[in-house]
Chains A and B, each alone.
Chain A
Amino acid sequence: MYTTNAARGLPRHRSRYPAERYTRWALRALVATLVLALLWLVLAFHLNGQWMFALLFLVLGASMAVVFTRRTLMSHRYIFPAVAGLGVFVIFPLLYTIGISFSNYSSSNLLSEDRVRAQLMSRSYQEEGAAFPFSLHREGELVRLYLEAEASSELDEAMAGARRFVSAPLNLANEEARTIDVQPVEAPPQAEPLAMREVIAARGALQGLTLVTPEGVELRMAGMRSFAPMLDRYEARDDGSLHDRRDDRVLTPDRETGFFVTDDGERITPGWPVAVGLDNYTRIVADPDIRGPFVQIFVWTFAFAGLTVLFTLIVGFVLASLLQWEQLRGKAIYRTLLILPYAVPAFISILIFKGMFNQHFGEVNMILDSLFGIRPEWFTDPWLARTMLLIVNTWLGYPYMLLLCMGLIQSIPKDLYEASAVDGGGPVTNLLKITLPLILKPLTPLLIACFAFNFNNFVLIALLTGGNPDILGASTPAGTTDLLVSYTYRIAFQDAGQNFGLAAAIATLIFLLVAGMSLLNLRLSKVKV
C-alpha cells in the first residue's frame, strides 16, 4: 500500500511564489483567529461557571493550536476538522449525558446555585401590614394621589420618619404601567377627596402605578383603599442562608437536594442541579412506578427490533430469490417499484400510514369494514398499535433487505445450483443447503446494524403513535408502544417535569447496549483498516 508522510511533502522554505506565500499566511491567520475565538468561548463559559463547556472548548482550541503548529502532525491536519466534529457533537454529548445521569438536572433544578440565589433575591412581596390608605384629590384636569400611613410601623425607619406623601398631578386616563415619585408633605391637599365611585373608575390606572419615596421604597396598590410598600422578600445572611422577611423564617441551602429548604422541610423552587450519585439508576430498579413501565418498554424494544429484522429479512429474501430467477422478465420494473418505500422520505410515508390507519376515516378501516365488517382500534388498543407498527416498519424496511439479499445471492457461484440440479435437488434443497448458508454469514453484521437501528427507531414511534396508548399507573410518561429511545425523549422533553437526570440514566443504559452491539458487529464483520 502506498503511504506518505505529509510533513515531507511541504516545503520548509519561504515559497518563491507570492500567491502561495499569501495563501499560507492567510491560512495561518485563519487558524489563529479560530483558536482565539475558541479561547474566548473558554473564558466566557468559565466566567459563567459552566466548566464542562469551558473544558470542551479548551481541549478543542488547544488541540487545534497543537495540530496546526507542529510540523510532525501534518497528517493530523487533514483529519482534525472531522475528528473535532465527531468529538464535539457525538462524543462530548455522550459523556455529558453520562454526567447528567448522576445528577438531578431537571426543569426544577436547572439554573446554577448563584443564579437561583440571584433569582430569589430579586423577589419582592407586599408588606400589607404597613399599608398606606390613599385618597385622590382633583387639581384642574389632573389628580393628585395622597398617602397617609395609619399608624407607626417597622417601616418608619425606612421612610425616614415621613408618614404623609403626595404625588405630582397625574392623568388617570393613562393606564400604562409607570413609576412615579412621591414627596413627603405635612398636610393633605386642600381639595376634597374623590368619591369611591371615581376611585373604582380609575382602578386601571392606579394598578399600573409604582410609587417611589425619596428613600427608594416602592409602593403598589393593595386593594381599593390603600397602597403598600414592596419589599425585598429575602435577605442574604453571612452563613449563606436566606431570611424570608414575609414569613419570618430562615432558608438554608441544602446541597444534597439542590434546594433552599425551610426549617420544617419545605423546598423553595427553583433549585439547582447537584450530584445525586446512583439515585437515578436505583430509581429505575427500585421504584415500582418506573420499573414496571421500564421493563415493559425494554421487552417491547427488543421484540420490536427483533421482529422487524425477521419480517423484513423474510420478505426481502423471498423477493430477492424471485427476482434472481432467470426465467422472469421485467425484473428492472419490479425492482424499481419494490424499492419505492425506500425512496420516499420516511417522515412522509410514516405520516401517510398514520392517516391511513386512522380509526374513523382511514382507508384501512374502510376496506376492512366493507370486507369483514370490522373496524379495529389501531391507536387505542396496545396490541393492535404494536401490530400496526410492525406492519408499517416492515413496509419501510424490507427494500433494504431486498437490496442486500440480491447483492449477496448474485455473488453465489451459479455452478453450485447446476450441481444440485444434476443431483436432483429441488428448490427447497437449494434454499436450505446452498443459498441460506452462503448468505447468512456476510449478512450477520448487517443484520446486527439493522437491529441496532430499529432498536433506536425514534422517528417511526414519534411520528406514528407518539408512544400511545399510555401505560396506566406510570409516574413518568410511558406508552405501550414506546421504545427505549422515545421513552427517554419523552421523559426529557415532553413531560411537564422534564427529568433530564432520569432520561440520561436510561440513555446511558442504551449507550451500553448499543456499544455492545457495535463491538459485536465490528468483530463479526472483520473490518480491515
Chain B
Amino acid sequence: MKRIILFLMVLLFSSTASSVTVEVYEFTDKQHESLYKKMITELRCLVCQNQNLADSNAELAVDLRAKTYKLVTEDKTEQEIINWMTEKYGDFVLYKPQLNSKTYLLWGGPFLLGFLSIIGLIIFVKKQKTTVEIEPEDLKKAQELLK
C-alpha cells in the first residue's frame, strides 16, 4: 500500500515531461547574477526525479528559485543561502555535499585511491622479479606478426 501511495505521489508531484520554464530575473549586480546561476544549478529540486532547480519546472522549483533570487539580492553569501536551504530541507537539497564527517570518504576517496594506486604501482614495478626474458622464439614470432 505504501508503495502505491508513494508511486502516486511521484506521479502527482514530479514533472517527467520536459518543458523549459523561463523566468526573467533582473540583476543590477553582475555578482548577484552569477551567484544566482550557480546556486540554482547546485540546489536540488526535491520533488523532481534528480533535477536541479535551474532545469526544473515543478512548482516547488519555481518557488525556490524565487526564494534564491530574493536571498541573493539581499546580499546573502553562498554559505548563508546553503544554510538557509539545509535548515529547511536537509543536506538532500545540496548537489554539492558539504565537507563534514559524513562526506570525508566521498571527497577524499577519489584522490586517496588515485594516490594509493600510484604508490602501489611504483612498488609493484620496482619489486618485479628482474628480467624473465622473452624467449627468442616468441620474440621472433611476435616481430613477424607486427609486420
Bound together: no
- Residues of A participating in the B interface, judged by any CB pair closer than 8 Å: none
- Residues of B participating in the A interface, judged by any CB pair closer than 8 Å: none
